[in-house]
Homo-oligomer: A and B are copies of this chain.
Amino acid sequence: MTTTARDRLLDAAVEAFAEHGFGGTTTRDIAARAHMSPAAVYVHHATKEELLFAISLRGHEHALEVLANAASTSDSPVEQIAAMVQAFSEWHARNSRIGRVVQYEFGALSAEHRAIIADLRRRMEHHLQDALVAGVDEGVLEVTDVRGTARAVLSLSVDLVRWFEPGGAHTAAELGRLHADLAVRMLRPGPA
């Protein structure tokens, strides 16, 4: 688990993009954070946008994996949703800087890179939609708008990257549990 110069560069770029946004970050700032010269940034990535894409791709792949793994832990739709929301919120809290770049800098990608990332995002939404549809079929969930509700559930996890700070009022695990509980309650059939 040695830290390569490439890893140091990616970590530095994540911090800079999360703090100042892609457009507000200079390649000099990234280089300084990674303790490198401005020229060293271009050894591993041809442009600033390619550096963003590398971060965004890794982040989306990791987040998708977290969601897929959580979905596979049970056959019960309710338990799948609880596990997905719990894991997805906890991941976003534990990786809030990566999460901020992943979620907010989509528009800064090139058209080609945006298409690749958009596909990963679709697959994330489908994991949630599948569980919602299964729950409705089994009669254990009440959902009228599957697409809109899937997005709303994911919003609980995603929006925390906007304000989460390590060492704040909630730990990552606490937010995971809270959001999972709220999500399940949100989808239960109402009182007859």
Contacts and interface: CB of A to CB of B under 8 A. Distances in A.
Interface of A: 19-25, 103-104, 107-108, 145, 147-149, 151-152, 155-156, 158-160, 162-163, 169-170, 174-175, 178-179, 182-183, 185-188, 190-191
A19 B106 CA distance: 11
A interface: dominant SS:
helix
**How many copies make up the complex?**
2
A187 B190 CA distance: 12
B182 A152 contact: yes
A169 B147 CA distance: 9
A41 to B, nearest CB: 17
Contact of A155 (B22, B108, B156): B156
A152 B156 contact: yes
B107 A104 contact: no
Given A21-B21, A103-B162, A151-B163, A182 B175 contact: no
Nearest to A178: B148
Nearest to A163: B151
B159 A155 contact: yes
Given A24-B23, A178-B149, A160 B170 contact: no
